[in-house]
């Protein structure tokens, strides 16, 4: 790091990889650039030589960028992660997994310069708690595509979250918004912000629950202003306890929840 950053770029599309490597090589902060055509090759390279930062494409066959980043996070001295993607909605998962930044394709030189300044700070040991701060801030407002525009849905607007394959539906007073992130990962991100698993396919905001009621078949439902959320037997006790605890803390019906 003393003489500049050692950077690894990973992308399965050769022209995109070549262009990213060229931009990195032209940057004054970078001393050496290596390229890898897939995540498996990249992992082998990281095992054999140290890198200060990895610029990682998200959408790759086999092991994708998010999965690779999860593996890198387990290293004793993980490199700084920057995601590169053509889809802005991936930013949610990118920040959530600990990346310090994400770049939209095609990457612009001035945007890359700003990112590299942050990489230098992190790789040089001056980053402190910045990744965690960015992660928390990013997950408090999620980008969603609405009519060709990007809208940011605040966590405090969401009353419950519904699984939909590799996506989740965010149920808010303004409508239902689709975000590409598994519900298990959503639970990791929002579990500390008042969201509780009610069912394998649902998370519910504690402050959105008006009452618990039984359905016609004897099952339990968490009633919210936007509809009923099914509560499985497995999660019923925990939900009741969490609601009771939140009530004792005066957190139910709080308009500033999770903001």
Does a structural domain hold residue 254?
no
For residue 138, the model assigns a pLDDT of: 42
Q: Which has the higher per-residue pLDDT, 97 or 258?
A: 97
| pLDDT tens-digit readout, 168-208 | 999 999 999 988 888 888 888 788 788 999 999 999 999 99
Last residue of a domain, one of 107, 137, 167: 137
Q: CB-side exposure of 207: number of CA atoms within 13 Å? A: 17
**Residue 144 and residue 133 in one domain:** no
Q: Is residue 52 a part of any domain in this protein? A: yes
Query: pLDDT band at residue 1, thresholds of 50, 70 and 90?
Result: low
CA count, 13 A, side-chain hemisphere, 128: 4
Please name the residues in contact with 110: beta carbons below 8 A apart, sequence gap of 6 or more. none
* Rounded alpha-carbon distances, angstroms, from residue 85 to 45, 60, 74, 102: 22, 10, 23, 7
What value does the mean pLDDT take over residues 138-148? 69
Residue 179 located in a structural domain: yes
Q: How many domains does the chain have?
A: 2
Residue 32 lies in domain: 5-137
Side-chain half-sphere CA neighbours of 259 within 13 A: 6
> In terms of DSSP bridges, do strands 160-164 and 167-172 run parallel, antiparallel, or are they unpaired?
antiparallel
* Most confident among 4-18, 91-105, 128-142, 172-186 (mean pLDDT): 4-18
More confident residue, 151 or 164: 164
257 in any annotated domain: no
pLDDT (0 to 100) of residue 89: 58
Greater confidence (21 vs 255) lies with 21
Tell me what the pLDDT averaged over the chain comes to: 83
Q: Does residue 132 register a pLDDT over 60?
A: no
Placement of tokens 């004054």 in the chain: 28
Q: Which one, of 192, 161, 196, lies nearest residue 179 by Cα?
A: 161
In a domain, 174, yes or no: yes
Instruction: Single out the residue in 109, 137, 165 at which a domain terminates.
Output: 137
Structure tokens at 118: 């942050």
Confidence of residue 136 (pLDDT cuts 50, 70, 90): very low
Give the model's confidence band at 149: pLDDT under 50 very low, under 70 low, under 90 confident, else very high. confident
pLDDT above 90: percentage of residues in the chain: 42
Q: Are residues 14 and 128 in the same domain?
A: yes
Grade residue 98 by pLDDT with cuts at 50, 70 and 90.
low
241 shares a domain with 168: yes
Same domain assignment for residues 75 and 157: no
Which residue do the tokens 């925990």 mark?
Answer: 238
DSSP helix/strand/coil, 114: helix
User: Which of the listed residues 114, 137, 160 is the one where a domain comes to its end?
Assistant: 137
CATH of the domain at 164: 2.40.50.1020
- Continuous H helices in 73-129: 91-96, 109-123
Average pLDDT over residues 84-98: 64
- Judging by DSSP bridges, how do beta strands 80-85 and 53-57 pair with one another? parallel
Residue 92: pLDDT over 80:
no
- Say what the pTM is: 0.52
Tell me, yes or no, whether 203 lies in a domain.
yes
259 lies in a domain? no
């Amino acid at each position: 790091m003393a003489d500049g950053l050692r950077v690894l770029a990973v992308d399965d599309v050769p022209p995109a990889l070549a262009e990213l490597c060229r931009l990195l090589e032209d940057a004054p902060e970078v001393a050496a650039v290596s390229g890898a055509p897939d995540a498996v090759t990249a992992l082998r390279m990281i095992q054999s030589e140290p890198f200060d930062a990895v610029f990682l494409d998200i959408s790759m066959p086999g092991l994708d960028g998010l999965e690779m980043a999860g593996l890198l996070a387990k290293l004793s001295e993980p490199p700084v992660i920057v995601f590169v993607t053509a889809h802005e909605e991936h930013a949610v998962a990118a920040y959530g997994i600990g990346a310090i930044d994400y770049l939209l394709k095609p990457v612009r030189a001035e945007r890359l310069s700003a990112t590299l300044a942050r990489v230098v700070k992190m790789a040089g040991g001056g980053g402190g708690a910045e990744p965690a701060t960015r992660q928390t801030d990013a997950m408090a407002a999620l980008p969603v595509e609405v009519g060709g525009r990007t809208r940011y849905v605040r966590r405090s607007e969401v009353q419950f979250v519904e699984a939909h394959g590799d996506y989740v539906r965010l149920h808010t007073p303004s409508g239902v918004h689709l975000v590409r992130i598994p519900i298990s990962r959503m639970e990791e991100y929002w579990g500390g912000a008042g969201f509780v698993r009610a069912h394998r396919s649902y998370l519910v905001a504690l402050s959105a629950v008006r009452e618990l009621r039984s359905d016609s078949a004897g099952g339990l439902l968490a009633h919210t202003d936007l509809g009923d959320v099914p509560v499985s037997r497995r999660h019923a006790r925990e939900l009741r306890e969490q609601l009771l605890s939140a009530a004792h803390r005066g957190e139910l019906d709080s308009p500033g929840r999770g903001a």
